[in-house]
Amino acid sequence: MVFTTQRSGSTWLMSVLNNLDGVTTQGELFRPRPRSSERRWDSDFSRPRYVESRESVGRLRPFSVFRYLDAFYGTPESVAFKLMYSQLRAYPEILVYLMRRRIPVVHLVRSNHLDVLISFAVKRAIQQAHILSEDERPKDIQVEIPPDSLLYNLKKLQFKHDAARKLLRLARVRHLEVTYEELVADPSCFEEVLAFLDARVSGELLRSNILKSRVGSQRDVIRNYDEIQRVLEGSRFADLLE
């Protein structure tokens, strides 16, 4: 399982792993609403989400969640899905399942929290979560980051990462933490991920059908970059600036 939060590069990671031979990955199986008809990276092979499977697994929790996960992990191939921090809060029994079944967890973090906020802003501006083709990629887009709430939002993201680390440690779930930035910069980091997952695969690494929404530096994309720079200078988040 990939444990993460929104706009951390998790869809890119899942698409990379899914393109390896012998591996099948899914998106947010515990997202609390049915899938839309919108074309997505996993539209051709996506499984029904938990909320779409109540007729087959039942409605009584936690047993219905356990049956749903048993069916998912009962497939012969190597499988994975991603779980957001907020989804584990809504379905805490998943943690019990991970502990009992000894499911390995990849904890994916995006260490540059400012880039996360930029990603959220770009998503709102283009009204699209992921880019699947060059035709969809926005050109020369600029967004504004609210300076008044900036430090609060950065601290909140850091708190989420720290809380997730502590939870995995206290639960004694076998896990590996990786950063989005390291995976993008150094393809050899995937070797550690695959070894941790005991995935014996062949195939080309770093092949994905997801394109980056943002093109350009922070200064290129943030319309009020100078204002953001003044807020961050002298704070513990100053190193997030490019």
99-124 residue pLDDT tens:
999 999 999 999 999 999 999 998 88
199-215 residue pLDDT tens:
766 555 667 777 777 77
Enter the tokens of residue 186.
């150094």
The span from the CA of 121 to the CA of 202, in Å, is 37
Domain residues for the domain of 7 are 2-240
Nearest to 139 by CA among 66, 47, 52, 213: 213
The type of residue at 200 is R
CA angle 100, 14, 216 (to 5 degrees): 140
Q: Are 173 and 98 contacting, i.e. CB atoms less than 8 angstroms apart?
A: yes
Digitized pLDDT (tens) for each residue of the chain, 242 residues in all:
999 999 999 999 999 888 887 888 999 999 999 987 777 777 788 899 999 999 999 999 999 999 999 999 998 888 999 999 999 999 999 999 999 999 999 999 999 999 999 999 988 888 777 776 666 777 788 999 999 999 999 999 999 999 999 999 999 999 999 999 999 998 888 888 988 988 766 555 667 777 777 778 999 999 999 999 999 999 999 999 98
Q: Are 47 and 72 contacting, i.e. CB atoms less than 8 angstroms apart?
A: yes
Residue 187's domain is classified under what CATH number?
A: 3.40.50
User: How many domains does one find in the chain?
Assistant: 1
The span from the CA of 10 to the CA of 183, in Å, is 11
